[in-house]
């Protein structure tokens, strides 16, 4: 059996970037079909912790990333409000802030640099002594020597956000197709995709295509096959039991996020092992040890889940957001550690580009920066 559907935008990929892009285009009045090969919100989205910190992950030298992160952080309240209003679901959005905690003098020196970067970006970051940190979070280790309060850092529950985005997309008339495989994708002025779903085939005609398939983007469309994209394995732990924290804790070695549900999220490893989905003892040991150093009470909690995901990383660790060389095809991938944080800005700025704009914040993130030069080297190689 085969059915047909004509829409303005076809989105390939049902992680946080694909879902946010589909939702943003629906908000702008476009019709949308989103196709996901496995399960909505799977992949990196399912594993992600959900910290929203404008200066925590990006290197100060990555100014394009830093600017995008700060912009996205500012958009989050409106983004979550719209999603929750359309879906009727909560996203686990929390504005309590983050404590950057040092357990020794080396930690403290490391955190001073992080705090300076927060302040340089105009974000609040207050230095605290050990007594004040323990007053705010009494269950922290007595070994704490000091730290900083990053009050403008936020958090969201990525799994809840993905569920809410899916519901919001359907509430606005979008179509979600999963599990499904794109068998053919070609253009003759409009894009035509043949999509295989269990017991059916769907032919989608679309004016534009957005490829946002995370670490699998190279396989999703021929136009993305040359992107220097690789999966970076990450393992994250989820514990349950007595609530030990009121806010996110970060040390230079680990982050610990409390959820309203009673879940405690600990992460994350970073491993160059390709698509190896096995949870392994070494990273789990490191995460638990570093979490226990900061928060001894984790010793008594139930180990509920060991999650493995694959961050989509490009060679320069910056995302690729923009038009491809194929008319009407756009890509949004390579968000590495920052997909949840960057989702609102990625979706909005890509939609601006599709509207004919030229967003300043996308300068330096063009997917074409990896295109080979006449001499055979790509732009990034020549610059480096």
Say which CATH number the domain at 251 has.
3.30.9.10
* Same structural domain, 179 and 238: no
Name the token pair of 203.
Answer: 């032919």
Does residue 49 sit within a domain? yes
Instruction: Tell me the C-alpha distance between 103 and 294, whole Å.
Output: 7
pLDDT reported for residue 381: 42
Distance of CA 322 to the CA centre of its chain: 17
Question: Which range (1-5, 140-144, 242-246) has the least confidence?
Answer: 1-5
Listed in sequence order, the residues at least 6 apart from 168 whose beta carbon sits closer than 8 Å to its beta carbon are 23, 82, 83, 86, 87
Q: pLDDT value at position 243?
A: 95
- Same domain for 246 and 269, yes or no, is yes
Q: Are residues 186 and 236 in the same domain?
A: no
User: Coil, strand, or helix at residue 87?
Assistant: helix
Do 372 and 242 fall within a single domain?
Answer: no
In a domain, 242, yes or no: yes
Indicate whether 180 belongs to any domain. yes
Same domain, 320 and 220: yes
Strand pairing class (229-240; 263-267) = antiparallel
CATH number of the domain that residue 197 is part of? 3.50.50.60
Count of structural domains, the chain: 2
Structure tokens at 47: 């594993």
Q: Is residue 25 part of a domain?
A: yes
Q: Answer yes or no: do 178 and 82 share one domain.
A: yes
Residue 355 lies inside a defined structural domain of this protein: yes
Say whether both 266 and 293 belong to one domain. yes
The two structure tokens encoding residue 275:
């698509």
Whether residues 52 and 119 share a domain: the answer is no
Question: Per the omega criterion (within 30 degrees of 0), is the bond before 200 cis?
Answer: no
| Residue 102 pLDDT exceeds 90 | yes
Q: Look at residue 40 and give its three-state secondary structure.
A: coil
Residues 78 and 165 in one domain: yes
Would residue 259 be called left, alpha or beta, if left means φ above 0 and alpha means ψ between -120 and 50 degrees?
Answer: beta
Q: Which residues of 56-84 are buried (b: 16+ CB within 10 A; e: fewer)?
A: bbbeeebebbbbbbbbbbebbeebbeebb
How confident is the model at residue 66, as a pLDDT?
Answer: 86
Q: Among residues 290, 314, 338, which one ends one of the domains?
A: 314
Please write the tens of the pLDDT for every residue from 23-81: 999 999 999 999 999 999 999 999 999 999 866 555 555 788 888 998 999 999 999 99
Q: Is the residue at 91 inside a domain?
A: no
Q: Which of 292, 314, 336 is the last residue of a domain?
A: 314
Q: Is residue 16 part of a domain?
A: yes
Contact 68, 364 (CB under 8 A): no
Q: Which residues have CB under 8 Å from 120's CB, separation 6+?
A: 60
pLDDT for position 1: 53
Whether residue 212 is contained in a domain is answered as: yes
Same domain, 127 and 235: yes
How far apart CA 180 and CA 170 sit, in angstroms, is: 17
Provide the residue range defining the domain that includes 79.
Answer: 2-86+158-228+316-383
Position 382 scores a pLDDT of: 38
Could you tell me if 35 and 146 lie in one domain? no
**Which residue among 279, 314, 349 closes a domain?**
314
Cβ-in-10-Å burial (0-12, 13-18, 19+) of 362 comes to: buried
At 176, which helix (H) or strand (E)?
Answer: strand 175-177
Regarding whether 335 and 374 lie in a shared domain, the answer is: yes
Going from the C-alpha of 340 to that of each of 51, 139, 365, the distances in angstroms are 8, 28, 17
Tens digits of residue pLDDT in 253-298: 999 999 988 899 999 999 999 999 999 999 999 999 999 999 999 9
């Amino acid at each position: 059996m085969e059915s047909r559907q004509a829409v303005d935008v076809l989105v390939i990929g049902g992680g946080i970037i694909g879902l946010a892009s589909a939702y943003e285009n629906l908000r702008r009045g476009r019709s949308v079909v989103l196709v996901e090969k496995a399960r909505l919100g799977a992949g990196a989205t399912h594993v992600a912790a959900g910290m929203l910190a404008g200066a925590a992950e990006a290197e100060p030298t990555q100014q394009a990333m830093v600017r995008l992160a700060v912009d996205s952080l500012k958009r989050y309240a409106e983004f979550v409000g719209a999603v929750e209003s359309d879906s009727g679901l909560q996203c686990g959005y929390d504005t309590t802030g983050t404590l950057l905690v040092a357990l020794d003098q080396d930690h403290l020196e490391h955190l001073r640099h992080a705090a300076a970067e927060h302040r340089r970006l105009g974000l609040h970051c207050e230095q605290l002594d050990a007594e004040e940190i323990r007053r705010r979070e009494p269950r922290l280790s007595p070994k704490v020597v000091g730290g900083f309060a990053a009050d403008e850092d936020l958090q969201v529950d990525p799994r809840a956000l993905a569920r809410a985005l899916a519901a919001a997309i359907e509430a606005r008339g979008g179509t979600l197709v999963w599990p499904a495989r794109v068998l053919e994708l070609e253009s003759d002025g409009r894009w035509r995709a043949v999509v295989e779903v269990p017991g059916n085939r769907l032919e989608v005609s679309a004016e534009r295509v957005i490829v946002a398939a995370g670490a699998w983007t190279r396989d999703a469309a021929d136009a993305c096959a040359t992107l220097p994209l690789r999966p970076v394995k990450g393992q994250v732990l989820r514990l349950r039991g007595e609530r030990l924290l009121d806010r996110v804790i970060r040390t230079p070695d680990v982050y610990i996020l409390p959820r309203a549900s009673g879940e405690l999220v600990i992460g994350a490893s970073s491993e160059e092992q390709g698509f190896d989905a096995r949870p392994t003892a070494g990273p789990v040991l490191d995460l638990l040890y570093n979490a226990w150093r900061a928060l001894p009470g984790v010793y008594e909690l139930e180990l509920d889940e060991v999650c493995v995901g694959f961050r989509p990383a490009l060679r320069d660790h910056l995302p690729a957001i923009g038009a491809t060389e194929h008319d009407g095809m756009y890509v949004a991938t390579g968000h590495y550690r920052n997909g949840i944080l960057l989702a609102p800005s990625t979706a909005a700025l890509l939609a601006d580009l599709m509207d004919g704009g030229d967003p300043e914040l996308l300068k330096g993130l063009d997917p074409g920066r990896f295109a080979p030069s006449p001499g055979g080297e790509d732009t990034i190689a020549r610059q480096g």
